[in-house]
Amino acid sequence: MNVIETKKLTKYYLGRKVLGIKNLDLEVKEGEIFGFIGPNGAGKSTTIRLLLDLIRPTSGDAKIFGKDVNKLTVSIKEEVGYLPGEIFLDDGITGEECLNYYKGFKKNIDHKYLNSLINRFDFSVDKKVRDYSKGNRQKLAIILALMHKPKLLILDEPTSGLDPLNQQEFFKVLKETQKTGTTTFLSTHILDEANRICDRVGIIKSGELISIENIDDFRKKNIRDIDITTSTTIPLSHFKIDGITKVARTTSGYHLSVAGPVTKILEEILKHDISDIDITKPTLEEIFIRFYR
Amino acid sequence: MKNIVLFQIKKQYKSVLVYLAALVGFAWMYISLFPSMQKIDIEAMMSQLPKEFLGFLGEGGGSAYNTIEGFLSVEFFSFFFVLLIGFYVSSVAGAAIAGGIERRTMDFELSQPVSRTKKLLSETFVAIIFSILIVTAANLMIKLLCVIYNIDISSKGLFYFSILASLFSMAIYGIAIFLSSIVRSKMSVVGITLFFTLGSYVFYSLSLAVEKIKDFGKFTLYYLYDPQKTLSRAELNLDHCLILLFIFILGTITALIIFNKKDV
């Protein structure tokens, strides 16, 4: 069963001047963690806002749990947990008052589970929202999104502001919720995040879905840049190794663009007189230019 | 709905008490001044003023100052009272849609299982209850202060005025919530609403003083309010009450329609 289904979903802003997303066909299956990857401004947040009925489509339609997101939005949201990248709450109330207020919208809150979330993220409920740091606000947002054990989690750049330890804890919680059947739709521009927890990824660029891939296929792309510093000349034919997609001469040596596992490539390169090797990950934009033009 | 209502009550009650205290404080000042005002021959003083200026004071002219009802109407209920009540209802209405979008708190609120209609109606309910409470409590305090200062004020007039002022504040809310659904800033809602309400007061007052625009005064919101007539005569104009109620209902329904179709 598809938990999320969109057909030719299109959104333009300011009349028809600014494109949000165009003809988006998407299917997210029950129980999977689906990553929605794209650079900033690609249309990820527009898609999420359409799914949450915060904005209305120009054309096309979207369904969650088989229900129209516009017509049956209230009953859909009973089973949805939404986590924005940056949460904006009434800042004059305390964390506890905030939890109590949003608890009031939900049915059957498991208080034991709620307390366990508060403890896991080491969240202090007695401060005013305005006094929380960005990270603590994000912790509050995580708790608000998860407290009613939703069947669908919609996460928009969820780890922004979280320290590495809390990121790890958050991913652990996501994996746990997956075991209990929760579906997750996660939008991110951080490839590692998608690599780490997603089952499938959808690649979106300039408002259009370019491809949907299984995470294993996506991982195989494992794109790296390798900069070799050497005083010797290496014949270009020596770089004809599986995985090297591009070779360029630099002032200090060579620049290689690599996709897939790097072990074999490194073994071959190290046969030469190399003084230094620098392996870096290109930006998402660079990856898009190379693979998803 | 109950959840939003309780949250809004908790959020607003302190500021409501401040509005009420400000109103009672000012009313107290005017009531305490009234006995000494009576010692002055106001009629003689007023007769020295131009005829147009007396028209500005309403139908009683200078004689309005002879009674506490007229005195409070001219000095307190006509401007300061409307300013504070108008500020309260327009702030609440401005925060309900425009302010929520501006501060981006609307996103998370609407990601909860609550319809836009329920959210807006709940906030409207609290705003109306609180504005009725402010009006009624202020008038009860005025009655009490008059008893303390041994001033005879018509209870019936105050009661009718409470009804009229409550409906007037509801009408201002109706205008403000409509504006809130079409503009993107809370302060714009407050500014435009107060400009419209107080502008209506200025125009209505001018229409009483300037012969040329005499007939246009009845097209202002203030014509429907006119505290002097209600308080002094202890009469309630039912037509005016219904029009004020209609403005409130129309503004709220229009805002609901726009808000339900709006991208937030």
Question: pLDDT digits over B13-70, tens only?
Answer: 999 999 999 999 999 999 999 988 877 777 777 777 776 666 666 665 666 778 899 8
Residue in chain B nearest A12 by alpha carbon: B263
Contacts of B264 in chain A (CB under 8 A): 54-55
- CB-CB under 8 Å, A52 with B112: no
- CB-CB under 8 Å, A88 with B108: yes
Residue of B104, B112, B261 lying closest to A88 (CB–CB): B104
| Selected residue with higher pLDDT from B60 and A152 | A152
Q: What is the pLDDT of residues A99-146, one digit of tens each?
A: 999 999 998 899 999 999 999 999 999 999 999 999 999 999 999 999
Residue of A56, A87, A93 lying closest to B263 (CB–CB): A56
- Mean pLDDT rounded to a whole number for chain B: 91
Test mutation, B103, B112, B118, B123, chain A, max A CBs within 10 A:
B112
> Could you tell me the two tokens for A181?
């059947």
> Could you tell me the two tokens for A122?
């080491």
- CB-CB under 8 Å, A52 with B110: yes
Q: What is the pLDDT of residues B147-166, one digit of tens each?
A: 999 999 999 999 999 999 99
- Asked if pLDDT for residue A75 goes beyond 80, the answer is yes
The number of helices, as runs of H, and strands, as runs of E, in chain B is 13, 0
> Could you tell me the two tokens for A135?
């990270």
User: How far, in Å, are A113, A148, A149, A181, A242 from residue A110 at the CA level?
Assistant: 5, 7, 8, 17, 53
Cα(A144)–Cα(A116) distance, rounded to whole angstroms? 13
Query: According to the model, what pLDDT value does residue A262 have?
Result: 85
Q: Rounded to a whole number, what is the distance in Å from the CA of A36 to chain B's nearest CA?
A: 19
- CB-CB under 8 Å, A54 with B107: yes
Instruction: State the count of interchain CB pairs (< 8 A) between A and B.
Output: 58
Sign of the four-CA dihedral B58, B59, B64, B70? negative
Q: Which of A42-56, A159-173, B206-220, B230-244 has the lowest mean pLDDT?
A: B206-220
Measured at the CA of A68, the angle between CA A63 and CA A69, to 5 degrees, comes to 80
Q: Return the number of other C-beta atoms located less than 10 Å from residue A230's C-beta.
A: 16
User: How far, in Å, are A15, A46, A131, B96, B155 from residue A92 at the CA level?
Assistant: 36, 29, 9, 16, 40
User: Could you tell me if residue A161 is left (phi over 0), alpha (psi between -120 and 50 degrees) or otherwise beta?
Assistant: left
What's the number of CA atoms in the CB half-sphere (13 Å) around residue B138? 31
Query: According to the model, what pLDDT value does residue B55 have?
Result: 65
Question: If pLDDT is split at 50, 70 and 90, which confidence band does B254 have?
Answer: very high
Instruction: Identify residue B93 by its one-letter amino acid code.
Output: A
> Could you tell me the two tokens for A149?
């054990």
Cα(B139)–Cα(B69) distance, rounded to whole angstroms? 12
Cα(A228)–Cα(A247) distance, rounded to whole angstroms? 11
Question: If pLDDT is split at 50, 70 and 90, which confidence band does A95 have?
Answer: very high
Under an 8 Å CB criterion, which residues of B touch A? 2-3, 6-7, 10-11, 103-108, 110-115, 261, 263-264
8 Å CB contact between A230 and A253: yes
- Asked if pLDDT for residue B221 goes beyond 70, the answer is yes
Test mutation, A48, A79, A88, chain B, max B CBs within 10 A:
A88
Residue of B104, B105, B113 lying closest to A105 (CB–CB): B113
- CB-CB under 8 Å, B263 with A90: no
Q: Rounded to a whole number, what is the distance in Å from the CA of B112 to chain A's nearest CA?
A: 6
Query: According to the model, what pLDDT value does residue B15 have?
Result: 95
Alpha helices in A104-163 (DSSP H): 111-120, 134-146
Query: According to the model, what pLDDT value does residue A55 have?
Result: 96
The mean pLDDT of A154-181, rounded to a whole number, is 93
Sign of the four-CA dihedral B195, B197, B201, B204? positive
- CB-CB under 8 Å, B108 with A54: no
Cα(B169)–Cα(B134) distance, rounded to whole angstroms? 10
Residue in chain B nearest A88 by alpha carbon: B105
The number of helices, as runs of H, and strands, as runs of E, in chain A is 10, 14
The mean pLDDT of A237-256, rounded to a whole number, is 89
Percent of chain A clearing pLDDT 90 (strictly above): 66
Q: What is the pLDDT of residues A8-58, one digit of tens each?
A: 999 999 888 899 999 999 999 999 999 999 888 899 999 999 999 999 999
> Could you tell me the two tokens for B226?
């006119």
- CB-CB under 8 Å, B261 with A78: no
Q: What is the pLDDT of residues A186-198, one digit of tens each?
A: 999 887 788 889 9
Question: If pLDDT is split at 50, 70 and 90, which confidence band does A211 have?
Answer: confident
- CB-CB under 8 Å, A54 with B264: yes
Radius of gyration of chain B (CA): 20
Cα(A238)–Cα(A243) distance, rounded to whole angstroms? 13
8 Å CB contact between B200 and B222: yes
Query: According to the model, what pLDDT value does residue A293 have?
Result: 59
Residue of B3, B103, B106 lying closest to A105 (CB–CB): B3
Q: Rounded to a whole number, what is the distance in Å from the CA of B84 to chain A's nearest CA?
A: 23
Alpha helices in chain A (DSSP H): 44-51, 73-77, 95-103, 111-120, 134-146, 164-179, 191-197, 215-221, 263-269, 284-291
Q: Rounded to a whole number, what is the distance in Å from the CA of B98 to chain A's nearest CA?
A: 14
Q: Rounded to a whole number, what is the distance in Å from the CA of A53 to chain B's nearest CA?
A: 8
Percent of chain B clearing pLDDT 70 (strictly above): 94
Domain positions in chain B: 2-261
Contacts of B3 in chain A (CB under 8 A): 101, 104-105
pTM exceeds 0.90, yes or no: no
The mean pLDDT of A59-70, rounded to a whole number, is 97
Cα(B207)–Cα(B209) distance, rounded to whole angstroms? 5
